[in-house]
Structure 1
Amino acid sequence: MAKIGYFLSSEQFGPKELVDQAKRAEAAGFESLWISDHFHPWNDEQGQSPFVWSVIGALSEATSLPVSTAVTCPTVRIHPAIIAQAAATAAVQLDGKFVLGVGSGEALNEHILGDPWPSVGVRQEMLEEAVDVIRLLHRGDEVSHHGLHYEVQEARIYTRPEQPVPIYVSGFGPQGAELAGRIGDGFTLAMPDAELVQTFRTSGGGDKPVQAGTKVTWDRDADKALEIAHRLWGNEGLPGQTAQILPRPKDFGALMDLVPKDAVEESIACGADADKHAAQVRKYIDADIDEVYVQQIGPDMDGFFSAWESDVLPQLRG
């Protein structure tokens, strides 16, 4: 049976709100937590970007649920040796119930220090080396690494969990899914794409876990719910490599009017119809995804958690 977790959006909510949502999610019967790692929101309407590692520390004291990052880019903005230390500490705080989800990143978050934004192939090459560096450091030995992209000099991580931190790799196309299958302890994606899951499994992933995130807008007024979803997350409907190459939230905001509302309505369940919400999650389960993480976009958290506890989660587990 698929695991149903809650998706904490660091682009849309501040740190105290995220911790409150995590506590509500646990009380409502969600089984685990996903949390995004962003320096910027996708657009100014979303309006937040707390430092994920601080929030994870707070989550470890506020709930008993497992936590995965979805996802951290360990290649440009933060050196993989620092991510290795952060992930090891998070795993200790969470008693080993932590997954480091990693990806090749977006210019939106990674351009901020003035580094050049590499091509897709180079970004994936950097990601593979970064994962190697993190795993070396998680063994607990002193590490010196002289690679194509990264240098590590006589570094050792002392605060570590008993078991190495699992590293799940994100991928949004065949090349990314193949890389995840080859180097990942699991796979992370953002759409119910059975072909990508199959590529991951046949590229070495086998029966390793697959995680995916999805968004809904629970509101008693379905039209209002759609307006909220379009205004806050219309950027997800932009085509091609837009999400990877635009540098500023205002650039996404300027293009979001190009995404029609009906396109948002097709991908985000809007309103209070429990069957519609459950059907959206089933698309992911039917794509052979093991863990589905759901984000509530709208402001009615009371309504969302109450409805999912009583009407949606029982359907998905029945």
Structure 2
Amino acid sequence: MTRFGYTLMTEQSGPKELVSYAVDAERIGFDFAVSSDHYSPWLVSQGHAPYAWTLLGAVAQATTTMDLATYVTSPIQRYHPAVVAQKAATLSLLSDGRFLLGLGSGENLNEHVTGEGWPPIDQRQDMLEEAATIIRELLTGELVTWEGSYFRVDSARIWDTPTEPLPIGIAVSGDKSLERFAPLADHLITTEPDAEIISKWDDLKGSTSSRKIGQIPISWGPDRDEAIERAHDQFRWFGGGWAVNSDLPTPAGFAGASQFVRKEDVAESIPCGPDLDAIVESVKSFWEAGFTDIALVQVGDALQQQFLDEAAAPLLDLLRDAAK
């Protein structure tokens, strides 16, 4: 059965609002919630970037049934993997085992703040592999000493670990990353509804039982023109593709890179307006590709509460009926 999630978009809402949205999302019936983990918004007009781990700790206490995940955390620069392991273990305990640790190689936008420069993609993938290995070792609760190519860990132990193994998802794209990270991840995270990626992942895992987690932006609103305007204002960065999005360092850079993206371009890639059937049609490509978990991103904070109050429940009904 396909599971549908709600995205706590830290780039577009403040921390108290996000906790409130999470409570409503659980009440409405979303199966899970994912949180972005950003130091900066993509564009200045989004205007927010609260700390994801404090947010998720609050959400873990304010909810009881909805699964939680990072989508995604990068353990290669802004966070040392030993710290990520400790945070993840604590969050798993606070949520009574509802937490999935989503890992990825990150974006310059969030990592450059440490002043260490931004490594090339091949090095970032090497760092992620080493970091994920360290995190797995530490989550056993055993004493870990590690000296690798990029990280050192000196006699570290996570003293409070969950009884059940904490699931890890890793964001992948092409064949090389699939082969590299399938042995380290329990679950797949990817952004494109590509059936070939899902099939290759299952082949590498030797099973179809792992979760395949995707995400899609929508811009619901009673007025379609206003919904397109909002999506263009706050989500036009989305069209740059990951090769661009991972390397630009600042919101000003994203504003410059997306200055020629037209409203009609955004409307073609993001379902906008009140038509719930049109949203279902856009989401359908994910479950048809084999995704088990699909997180929705309602664009913008202005109509977030209205979306939850008026549109989310009937949309979930339509999605679940269509995905049967």
What whole-Å deviation, never above 9, does each CA across 1:258-283 have from its counterpart, x for those lacking one?
Answer: 22222221221110111011112211
Paired residue for 1:305? Answer: 308
Q: Could you tell me which of 312, 319, 322 is aligned with 1:316?
A: 319
Alignment check: 8 A CA contact 1:145 1:152 kept:
yes
Distance 1:240 1:132 in 2: 24
Query: Where in structure 1 are there 5+ consecutive unaligned residues?
Result: none
Distance 1:27 1:155 in 2: 39
Distance 1:211 1:178 in 2: 17
Distance 1:11 1:302 in 2: 16
The list of structure 1 runs, each at least 4 consecutive aligned residues, that deviate by more than 6 angstroms after superposition, is none
Alignment check: 8 A CA contact 1:170 1:177 kept:
no
Distance 1:251 1:139 in 2: 41
Aligned to 1:49, the other structure's residue is in SS state coil
Instruction: Specify whether residues 258 and 200 from structure 1 end up closer, same or farther in structure 2 by C-alpha distance, changes over 3 A only.
Output: farther
Aligned partner letter, 1:76: Q
Taking the TM superposition and a 5 Å limit, the aligned residue runs for 1:7-156 are 7-64=7-64, 65-156=66-157
Whether 1:227 and 2:229 are equivalent positions in the alignment is yes
Taking the TM superposition and a 5 Å limit, the aligned residue runs for 1:200-219 are 200-204=201-205, 206-207=207-208, 208-219=210-221
Alignment check: 8 A CA contact 1:181 1:202 kept:
no
Percent of matched pairs sharing the same residue: 37
Alignment check: 8 A CA contact 1:182 1:205 kept:
no
Between 307-316 and 79-88, the greater mean CA deviation after superposition: 307-316
Task: Output the TM-score relative to the length of structure 1.
Answer: 0.96
Between 68-77 and 264-273, the greater mean CA deviation after superposition: 264-273
Aligned to 2:153, the other structure's residue is in SS state strand
What whole-Å deviation, never above 9, does each CA across 1:38-62 have from its counterpart, x for those lacking one?
Answer: 1111111111111111001100111
Alignment check: 8 A CA contact 2:21 2:305 kept:
no
What whole-Å deviation, never above 9, does each CA across 1:59-83 have from its counterpart, x for those lacking one?
Answer: 0111121101000000111100000
Paired residue for 1:4? Answer: 4
Cα RMSD of the aligned pairs, angstroms, is 1.5
Structure 1 residue 205: Cα displacement: 6.4
Aligned to 1:237, the other structure's residue is in SS state helix
Structure 1 residue 253: Cα displacement: 1.1
Instruction: Specify whether residues 262 and 206 from structure 1 end up closer, same or farther in structure 2 by C-alpha distance, changes over 3 A only.
Output: farther
Instruction: Specify whether residues 78 and 309 from structure 1 end up closer, same or farther in structure 2 by C-alpha distance, changes over 3 A only.
Output: closer
Paired residue for 2:171? Answer: 170
Structure 1 residue 243: Cα displacement: 0.7
Instruction: Specify whether residues 198 and 52 from structure 1 end up closer, same or farther in structure 2 by C-alpha distance, changes over 3 A only.
Output: same
Distance 1:144 1:161 in 2: 21
What whole-Å deviation, never above 9, does each CA across 1:188-231 have from its counterpart, x for those lacking one?
Answer: 11221222222322233632111011111111110110110011
Distance 1:239 1:269 in 2: 18
Query: Where in structure 2 are there 5+ consecutive unaligned residues?
Result: none
Distance 1:7 1:178 in 2: 28
Alignment check: 8 A CA contact 1:69 1:99 kept:
yes
Distance 1:88 1:310 in 2: 32
Alignment check: 8 A CA contact 1:177 1:197 kept:
no
Paired residue for 1:249? Answer: 251
Structure 1 residue 239: Cα displacement: 4.3
Distance 1:122 1:197 in 2: 25
Aligned partner letter, 2:130: E
Distance 1:149 1:283 in 2: 38
Aligned to 1:294, the other structure's residue is in SS state strand
Paired residue for 1:282? Answer: 284
Distance 2:17 2:260 in 1: 30
Aligned to 1:111, the other structure's residue is in SS state helix
Alignment check: 8 A CA contact 1:74 1:103 kept:
yes
